[in-house]
Amino acid sequence: MKQDVTVLRPEEPARFNPDRLELLCKEVGEVRAEHEVASALEVISRRLRDIRDIDPWCDAPSLAGLVRALIAASDRIGMATLSRVARDVQRCAARRDAVALAATYMRLLRVGDRSIKAIWDLEDASG
């Protein structure tokens, strides 16, 4: 009997909180806000790279620290989807739910990559 396999290609748009970016500009000024966004993106990129390099199940303490840093940087610049998914990873790891952790971990990596690309595209569009 022949079985067909369906390949899933999850697509999820990166969502931003534009009010957060606006508030950041008001708090620190537009020039400083640009630097803060660039700095946060650097932190996010590094943390995502570090997260890719660990086994989320065997190295839970490292994962927890990396995810906390990712959430803080994401919240700072209004990367709502990335922050939410990172919190989902935290919850799955805390419950020690291997299946859910594997799924949310992979989702975090996908959303992270899309979020970084989307914010750079936003920066390019704004000049």
* Predicted confidence (pLDDT) per residue in 22-57, tens digit: 999 999 999 999 999 899 999 999 999 999 999 888
Length of the chain: 127
Nearest CA-CA partner of 47 in 95, 85, 96: 85
- Which residues lie below 8 Å from residue 75, measured CB to CB, with a gap of 6+? 20, 83
Band (pLDDT 50/70/90 cuts) for residue 74 is very high
Nearest CA-CA partner of 67 in 105, 20, 29: 105
∠44-45-46 over CA atoms, to 5°?
A: 90
- 22 and 33 Cβ atoms separated by less than 8 Å: no
pLDDT, residue 71, reads: 97
pTM, entire model: 0.82
Poorest-confidence range of 47-56, 68-77, 94-103, 109-118?
109-118
pLDDT, residue 45, reads: 94
Q: Is the pLDDT of residue 120 over 80?
A: no
